[in-house]
Amino acid sequence: MAYLFTSESVSEGHPDKVADQISDALIDNFLAFDTESKVACETLVTTGQVVLAGEVKSTTYLDVQKIARDTINKIGYTKGEYMFDGNSCGVLSAIHEQSEDISQGVDRGSKEEQGAGDQGMMFGYATNETENFMPLALDLSHRILKELAELRRENKDINYLRPDSKSQVTIEYSDDNIPQRIDAIVVSTQHDDFADDDAMLAKIRKDIVDILIPRVVSKLPKQIQVLFNDDITYHINPTGKFVIGGPHGDTGLTGRKIIVDTYGGKGAHGGGAFSGKDPSKVDRSAAYATRHIAKNLVAAGVADEILVQVSYAIGVVEPMGIFIDTYGTCPFNMTDGEIAKKVSTIFDMRPFAIEERLKLRAPIYSETAAYGHMGRKNETVTKTFSQPNGDTKTLDVELFTWEKLDYVDKVKEVFEI
């Protein structure tokens, strides 16, 4: 019997994502000037106010207020009428030095013996139902909001958009887990005030259905385009007026959108957030590493769908173990346990090895803090950072290294594919 599956996404202007982006901007600035920085930074945003709190061990000094304001302005909160804008909001910093009780478990005489920054379990997932090996419902939800942000910045075809928005996509699958059609799409977008509420709702609905969705569909592969049809149920701003939004409408906190950040409810999640954490925190680095494993295994043909789990004890170098679930999609005679044993010989999952393999001690995290940490484009970009004393540093950094298919040949060799 066919079934429905739904995933959601939120925009860069969603209050929780504003908090994530500020936290990750701080991470990038610390790492740009001191690659050995240890940072755990949380952000709270609300009406006219930003609160920064956390622990840092670093040799560099930053103007954290300026970093927060620049991030907010870049997102698009630049007008006083939003009741939250980068130029006028208050920024309170309660960041202090990291506890030695934590650092003693991580720092070792040899970097290779670096312990895990915390206990816990992390999951990575991949499926071959999309070109980027991501679940389709989440991939479409992200695409809708990225295109909506492009329309907002163009300020031409649609000129009333504000930064806060959410999307949700429901897909009908067949019994054998193949996407059949798009069943429903939800888009809620913050907007400027209209004189007539009924006219406002009608225009927003028309613009989303006739402008936004066709732009999204036009950039999709042909096999995904055919899933869109005239029978899709659209819920556009279903509560009605959405003028008050962003941190004025809802307080935002770092780390509250972990399912949006990962796989949209597919696979599993260990519970740890990513943003605001340097790569010694395995909540972040091991989640990236397990995604890297899962994606390379699926791309190599080990299975059509794979979940990878790894777990750690704080201060311990080696992981507790690696778990694999192929959901019965492995095409050859091998158990999930046997696959896990082979995986452990290919990928070194010690914390420092992960940092080195994925180049995680670089300022690469601001780009992860909106529209998902997984399924993104691996590319090299140039970034410039400034310190309060006027010193600047320009770096070429490689983004989303965990999305590379650089282990496919090695996987095929070990699995004799």
Q: Which residues are annotated as a binding site for Mg(2+)?
A: 16
Residue 230 is given by DSSP the state T
Are 119 and 312 within 8 A, CB to CB? Answer: yes
User: Residue positions in the annotated binding site for L-methionine?
Assistant: 55, 98, 250, 281
Strand-pairing partners, residue 383, are 395
Binding site for K(+), residues?
42
Asked whether the beta carbons of 394 and 384 are under 8 A apart, the reply is yes
Please give the single-letter amino acid code of residue 238. Answer: P
DSSP state of 116: B
The binding site consists of 14, 16, 42, 55, 98, 164-166, 241-242, 250, 256-257, 273, 277, 281
Task: Show the beta-strand stretches assigned E in 270-409.
Answer: 305-312, 321-325, 379-386, 392-399
Question: CB–CB of 86/41 below 8 Å?
Answer: no
**What are residue 338's phi and psi, to 5 degrees?**
-65, -40
Q: Which two tokens stand for residue 319?
A: 């992981």
Single-letter residue type at 74: K
Q: Tell me the binding residues for ATP.
A: 14, 164-166, 241-242, 250, 256-257, 273, 277
Q: In what order do the strands lie in the sheet with 305-312?
A: 120-127, 305-312, 321-325
Maximum Cα–Cα distance across the chain: 67
Question: 148-161: buried (b, 16+ CB within 10 Å) or exposed (e) per residue?
Answer: bbebbeeeeebebb
DSSP bridge partners of 168: 8, 186
CA distance 129 to 216: 18
